[in-house]
Amino acid sequence: MSSLVERLRIRSDRRPVYNLDESDDDADFVSGKSGKTEGNLEKIVRTDAKENSCQACGEGENLFSCATCTYAYHPKCLLPPLKAPLPDNWRCPECFSPLNDIDKILDCEMRPTVADDNDASKLGSKQIFVKQVPEKEFVKAFKSNPRLRTKVNNFHRQVASNNSSEDDFVAIRPEWTTVDRILACRGDDDDEKEYLVKYKELPYDECYWEFESDISAFEPEIERFNKIQSRSRKSSASKQKSGLQDAVVSKKSKEFQPYEHSPEFLSGGSLHPYQLEGLNFLRFSWSKQTHVILADEMGLGKTIQSIAFLASLFEENIAPHLVVAPLSTLRNWEREFATWAPQMNVVMYVGTSQARAIIREYEFYHPKNHKKIKKKKSGQIVSESKQDRIKFDVLLTSYEMINLDTTSLKPIKWDCMIVDEGHRLKNKDSKLFLSLKQYTTNHRTLLTGTPLQNNLDELFMLMHFLDAGKFGSLEEFQEQFKDISQEMQISRLHDMLAPHLLRRLKKDVMKQLPPKKELILRVDLSSKQKEYYKAILTRNYQILTRRGGAQISLINVVMELRKLCCHPYMLEGVEPDIEDANEAYKQLLESSGKLQLLDKMMVKLKEQGHRVLIYSQFQHMLDLLEDYCTYKKWQYERIDGKVGGAERQIRIDRFNAKNSSRFCFLLSTRAGGLGINLATADT
């Protein structure tokens, strides 16, 4: 923390000066020149001043108005008085206050202050660490509570809702002071260079211009930035001279040569034999211009095989590529690229509209080169196109961004498109299906562990997305395979799918793994569950609403019964108000047969040193499990739909960390069922 503060102080000479007067809450604000002057200005504001009158003396006429609010003053009433010429965009003392520009609260703590002679109670006070908006800078500005009450209350509420222990909470994470990427450079040869820096685990809308001397410890990132700049320029010039169409033809006409060993350009380790087979399958499909599905069972490394495939294309100067994946898996994709193919420029395109605008401005394209270039073969003089100026090799993005920013992504001609969890495309009327169909791609690959979920119609839609010419009519496909139980039709379907689909199972390629143990237990309902079960079936509202509160809706009886079988507290108005913690826990446990069995299992698993994953389709059930774990004083993590992508990865890392104290991980089936790596859990 001290090193960060010291570094920020070094940079503070370019920032506004903060005048912190602990003795007067109303005298705290910022000035571009003198904190003392602005402090005097604020003290002359009258609370009883009328509209269209001077806020200092209360009189009218010859007023000087603030540029950002409705306040006005006589220039002579200000301290010191404003003299001619009067500034154009003058801001009054109220608008100059840094309290008006606070973005968020980072931390609060008790800080010792100098004791007042008349009031020794001021020896210790709660002080707030804030982040200011305009200068986009962490500012060590500690303010007293009254004027920040709303933000402080929100901060305390956020901390209280976080299930992490106090030891895990830090106001500024070390990653936030570590350079992740450098986006741009500015400055003349005579001046010190400045770099636009993105810090790790921070979004793109929190990038800062930093002097080169301030980030001298991150020389590898500077070298990587310079290398990307020069490499992309050479690639762009090469494409223009040879002609884009000639380049495309050369990409596809190259003869396929299988890899006999794990390629040297993969720095993350060696591929397993079946993964090498998958890489060769993708390379062969690329050479034959065949769109495919990599349908290996979950856990066999579809992500690594895909990265190896894109890295092999990168070695032949083939780019750009698009990877579309669930939001929760993008961080894992980014890490795997950094591990296996760090030579590739991988950009993750997610975040707010402002963050995405910064990505498009600095990460998508190089600045336009107005110099004309003559093609070798045709002799035609051409200017540089946007496609030639693409800066990244791989763009990682989510399903939502595909639908939201089609206008920015669709014009790009993608060499390869990879869709993770490709079974999401089984519905031809979905927004994702319709959006991706419009993208221009040379090759498409779907990754899914479940290519056939419910019926052949869904499999057909996946194949239709890949090759609409070969799989054009669903009716013809249904007629051709209307009796799939016949051996002849099964054989014909296999022959049709063989060029497009590769699937391996763990039991076939990883025989050293122990067999999976799956145990399904049937649990009796508790007495309370039986009572409410009968009441729901008989629509006995007298029992269902006897504790008061809202009436339970029985429009969907089956759903209410499902919730009841998990825990009766999931029904509206059933949970009692009990102040005693021990009694509340007893009622929580005795009310559910499932929870009683889970309690017996969890106690034994904890004693034996196991680590547990608990899934639920209902977020309310996860809330009840949190109460259970809290009472047991077991440390846990939780991921559901309300947890953002960056925070998800932080919680996953915390659970997977060496010597982690987390005993269990609570997950919703929707948010925690896609591409999350929790290999440290065993139950």
Task: Choose among 135, 106, 108: nearest CA to 11.
Answer: 135
Distances in Å between the Cα of 10 and the Cα atoms of 3, 7, 73, 98, 297 are: 11, 5, 37, 20, 53
In this prediction, residues 338-346 reach a mean pLDDT of: 93
In this prediction, residues 620-646 reach a mean pLDDT of: 85
Q: Are 409 and 542 within one domain?
A: no
pLDDT band at 357 (very low <50, low <70, confident <90, very high): very high
Residue 221 domain-assigned? Answer: no
Q: Are 317 and 438 within one domain?
A: yes
CB 156 within 8 A of CB 171: no
Q: What is the CATH number of the domain that holds 276?
A: 3.40.50.10810
What token pair was written down for 683? Answer: 């139950």
Among the three residues 508, 529, 557, which one is the final residue of a domain in this structure?
A: 508
Q: Are 535 and 629 within one domain?
A: no
Distance CA 53, CA 74 (A): 9
Confidence (pLDDT) at 34: 33
What token pair was written down for 80? Answer: 């010191």
Distance CA 467, CA 55 (A): 72
CB 294 within 8 A of CB 306: yes
Distance CA 418, CA 323 (A): 5
Residue 541 domain-assigned? Answer: yes
Q: What is the CATH number of the domain that holds 623?
A: 3.40.50.300
Q: Are 424 and 470 within one domain?
A: yes
User: What integer best gives the mean pLDDT of the chain?
Assistant: 76
Residue 351 domain-assigned? Answer: no
Residue 134 domain-assigned? Answer: no
Confidence (pLDDT) at 373: 59
What token pair was written down for 131? Answer: 């982040």
Share of the chain above pLDDT 70, in %: 71
Among the three residues 96, 120, 149, which one is the final residue of a domain in this structure?
A: 96
Q: What is the CATH number of the domain that holds 76?
A: 3.30.40.10
pLDDT tens-digit map of 257-309: 889 999 999 998 899 999 999 999 999 999 999 999 998 888 888 999 999 99
Q: Are 544 and 614 within one domain?
A: no
Range of the domain at 474: 243-345+392-508
Confidence (pLDDT) at 345: 93
Q: Are 474 and 533 within one domain?
A: no
Distance CA 471, CA 290 (A): 13
Q: Are 284 and 323 within one domain?
A: yes
Task: Choose among 347, 278, 279: nearest CA to 311.
Answer: 279
Q: Are 468 and 574 within one domain?
A: no
Among the three residues 76, 96, 116, which one is the final residue of a domain in this structure?
A: 96
> 655-678 b/e with 16+ CB inside 10 Å = b?
bbeeeeebbbbbbbeebbebbbeb
Distances in Å between the Cα of 559 and the Cα atoms of 362, 536, 556 are: 49, 11, 6
Confidence (pLDDT) at 319: 87
Distances in Å between the Cα of 160 and the Cα atoms of 130, 155, 157, 427, 650 are: 18, 9, 5, 41, 18
Beta strands in 453-548 (DSSP E): 501-502
For the beta carbon of residue 365, count every other beta carbon within 10 angstroms: 18
Residue 3 domain-assigned? Answer: no
Distances in Å between the Cα of 596 and the Cα atoms of 236, 586, 601, 682 are: 65, 10, 9, 21
Helix (H), strand (E) at residue 282:
helix 273-287
Choose the weakest-confidence range: 256-265, 433-442, 556-565: 556-565
The C-alpha angle with vertex 323 and arms to 182 and 180, in degrees rounded to 5, equals 20
The C-alpha angle with vertex 534 and arms to 530 and 536, in degrees rounded to 5, equals 115
Task: Choose among 348, 366, 349, 394: nearest CA to 184.
Answer: 366
Total structural domains in the chain? 4
HSE-up (13 A, CA, CB side) for residue 49: 19
Residue 166 domain-assigned? Answer: no
Q: Are 302 and 396 within one domain?
A: yes
Residue 542 domain-assigned? Answer: yes
Residue 4 domain-assigned? Answer: no
Q: Are 400 and 337 within one domain?
A: yes
In this prediction, residues 134-145 reach a mean pLDDT of: 38
Distance CA 132, CA 135 (A): 7
Q: Which residue has the higher pLDDT, 348 or 300?
A: 348
pLDDT band at 213 (very low <50, low <70, confident <90, very high): confident
Task: Choose among 521, 490, 444: nearest CA to 289.
Answer: 444
Confidence (pLDDT) at 678: 79
Q: Are 481 and 527 within one domain?
A: no
Q: Are 497 and 524 within one domain?
A: no
Determine how β-strand 413-420 pairs with β-strand 321-325.
parallel
Is the pLDDT at 94 greater than 90, yes or no? no
pLDDT tens-digit map of 496-510: 888 888 988 888 887
